[in-house]
Each structure stands twice: as structure tokens, then as C-alpha cells.
Amino acid sequence: MPLRTTARITAFSPGQSPPPVRTPMRISRPTYPRRRWPRLWVLLALLAAAAGGCGSTGVAGVPKGAALTVYSSLPRAGVSARVADAIAAGERLALADAHGRVAGRAVRLVELDSAVPGGQAWDPATVEANARRAVDDRTAIAYMGELGLGASAVSVPVTSGDNLLQVSPGDGLTTLTRADPAEPEELPARYYHGGRRNFVRLVPTDAQQAAAIVAWAHASGANRLAIVRDDELFGRELAAEAAVAAPREHVTVTTVQEARHGVADYSSLARDVALRSPEAVLYTGLGDPDAVRLLNAIGRALPGAPVYGSSALATSPDGGGPPADVLKPAAPPALYGSWARGVLRRLRVQSGSPVADADRARRHPGGRTPRRQPRGGGTGRAPAADPAFGARHLPGGAERRRGRDPLRGLPADRRHPDVPGHASSALKTRLHAGCRARTGGSTIPPVSEP
């Protein structure tokens, strides 16, 4: 049975998830993706393409002049709730700035919760129900979801069956757009009915994220890396992809351990990791209370060993664990242009607090980045990453680019994310495909990922 299927069966059993996280996870050195398009601008562009692509005759079955609908599916409880709230606020602001009209058509936004009370992340049954509600609404022109952690694997087969445009703000599940390097037999075709692609995401794939983390650890001096995952879909997938990426970076994976949720004491697992003498530890799971206890146990077993985390750890609520070097899916305000910073200021005024994740870089105890001695002849510098992970927060609150790219020399398909950079013909074709099948237009051939 494929890993993804097994994970979906085992990782989301009823009652397994702990309550939402309330305590902070400390971040020592975050790395950020480089955004070419501000997210609100992307949202408006996608809505315009979807609405405009439907033509003057309108969506099939919708009276002329009736409002079109955009559905948004985000987890409003659990570890991703704060980020989901920020994205939802941005969606509302984008539509308000357009005065509720896109391409001459009235548009309404319907917000749906993809989590359940007391859940840890997203809920599979809820995600599927959200997607079905959207495709059953003949006024729907787009479905904004899912936020991340592989949830789109549930909704894409539903929206694809009706050829409804789906845009994910943060789901990097690799096989949604390309073969998984850890499981080459897992292909995107399994999600799309008739081979038509209806899915666009604004972040790199998880495989690219895994490669960037491994390259970062190696450039910082780690030649021996232990991988610890949780028992969720995202953690298992990313761990497998990191294990595949390690040999290409000349990094030895000393062990791959799974930390199951609900274990009272992770000391034994931490000792097993330490016995393999890794120079760094990569944790690919969520930043929940179990992760806090796990990483504290690893810190006691391997004092001084750097811990690296993925976007799942970076976007979890701030916590009580040890400092971790993480990749972040959103850059700090200083790396955006004046227009985007203005949007963040407006959202801050509306909500009365900073946008989630916009100021997280400075929340390390003492307000500084700990310096570590390089290992194995490494440079000791935390490198800039590829275009997907290109910036980092530095001590003193100043963000700047570093000159070294740890992914230099990698094949092009491993360097370039699935993030729309400019309005490419492939992206335009995919957006219009989201409307054409719903209005009786001609069939659009499958679109290859750029």
C-alpha cells in the first residue's frame, strides 16, 4: 500500500489529535521563500482570470448578473489556525479592495472551516465535504484551498471532477503536480479526472523544501543527519523526501525515527537518535505539544546539535521547545515591497495585532541568533536557498540576502518551485480550464507543470 494511503488511514483516526496548541515554539534561524507576487495580488489575478475566462454568457445555469462564488477552505482550529485566520483576512481584503467585483462580475466569498473542534490540523471528511459543497454550487468559479499538510490530496479529486479552479495558498504535497522523488510511481494523474489540471499553488513542493533543508544543514557543517518524523501525512512524506535528497548533498542519514503522537516520554527515542552520532537533527512533523516534548528530549540527548524544522514547525503557534532552524512559507515584512507592507499595515489595523507569522523571526530568547561552530569543514553560515527559499532573518532585525546558494548546480526541476512567477501561458491556460468545462466550452488538454 502506498505511503500516502497508509498515512491517511493511520494518521487521522477519530480522537487521535490533541487540542490546539497554545504555547510558543522558539525559532532561532528562519529561512523564507522569495515571493514574486504578493498574495493578495495573486488572488485578484486568479479571480479575474476565472471570472473573465467564463465569458459574457456566464457560468452554466447561473442567471446573467447573478453573483459568482469563491469558496475558501481553511483550518480555523489547531496548529494552523493563526495562519489560516491571516489568509482569510487577506482574502476578504482583496475582495473588498475590488469592491466585490472582478472582471465586471459580482463575486462573493464563502469561508469554510476544514478543521474540527479539538483537531490538530485538517479533517479529511470536512475537507471533502467543503470541496463537494463548492462543486455542487453552479455559481462557484474557484475554490481556495487547502492551506497545507497534504489536505489538497482529498479536495483536488473532487474539484478536478467538475474542473473547478483550485488555488492553494500553502499546500506543497509534491505529487499534486509532479512525481514524488521518494515514490516515483506516485504520479499527479491519480488526482485528476480526465487528465485535466485544475490546481495551482503559491508555494514550492515539499520535495523542494526537503532538498533545501538538507542543503542548508550540509552548508552549515552537518555531514551526518538524523531524521525524526511524526505520524502525520506531511511529516512522513517530507521525511522520505529528505532521505532521498540527502545522498545528492553528500549527507549521510544516520537514522529515520517516527515519534507517534500521545507517547508519554520520548527519552528512549531521543537516546536511539543520539546513539547514531548525528551532527544535526531534522524534524519534519507538526509543532504541537508532543513536538515540544520530543524536541526537548532530543536537546537533552544531543546538547548543542542543531535542530532543523520544516514549514509545519515554522507556522505552528510559538512554543516552549528548544530553538530550531526552520524554513518559513512567508517572508518578513522587510522583504516585501511598499505595497505589500501597506497591506500588512492595513490588516494589522483591522485585527488589532500583527499578521500571523509576519513578526515571528524575532521571537528567539534574547532576540539574537545563536552562533554555532561549523562541523566537518562547513562554512558555519546559514546559506540562502534557491528562489523558493532565498532569504533569512539575521541578528539585529535586519534582513538581507546572502550570496551563497546551497542548491547551485542542482537540476532545474529541483530548483524551481511550482509558484507562479509571471503570468505564464501555462498558468493562464490552467485558470481558463477551470471555467471552460463548466460553461460547455471545448476540452483543454492537460497542462504540464512549468
The pLDDT of 382-393, averaged and rounded, is 32
Residue from 182, 184, 119, 188 nearest 153 by CA: 188
What predicted TM-score, i.e. pTM, was given to this entire model? Answer: 0.71
Q: How confident is the model at residue 63 (pLDDT cuts 50, 70, 90)?
A: confident
d(CA 261, CA 438) in angstroms, rounded, equals: 43
**Beta-bridge partner residues of 392:** 31, 400
Residue from 281, 174, 290, 185 nearest 238 by CA: 174
Q: Going by C-beta distance under 8 Å and a sequence separation of 6 or more, which residues neighbour residue 343?
A: 38, 40, 90, 93
Q: Going by C-beta distance under 8 Å and a sequence separation of 6 or more, which residues neighbour residue 215?
A: 245, 249, 383, 385, 406, 407
The pLDDT of 312-326, averaged and rounded, is 80
Residue 75 has pLDDT above 60, yes or no: yes
Chain centroid offset of residue 448 CA: 21
Whether 207-414 and 38-201+420-436 are alike in CATH topology: the answer is yes
Q: How confident is the model at residue 323 (pLDDT cuts 50, 70, 90)?
A: confident
The pLDDT of 32-58, averaged and rounded, is 49
The pLDDT of 345-352, averaged and rounded, is 86
- pLDDT tens for 138-157 read 999 999 999 999 999 999 99
Q: Where exactly are the structural domains of the chain?
A: 38-201+420-436, 207-414
Is CATH 3.40.50 the classification given to domain 38-201+420-436? yes
Q: What fold does the segment set 207-414 form as a domain?
A: Rossmann fold (3.40.50)
Please give the residue that has the higher pLDDT: either 338 or 15. Answer: 338
Cell digits for 154?
A: 482529498
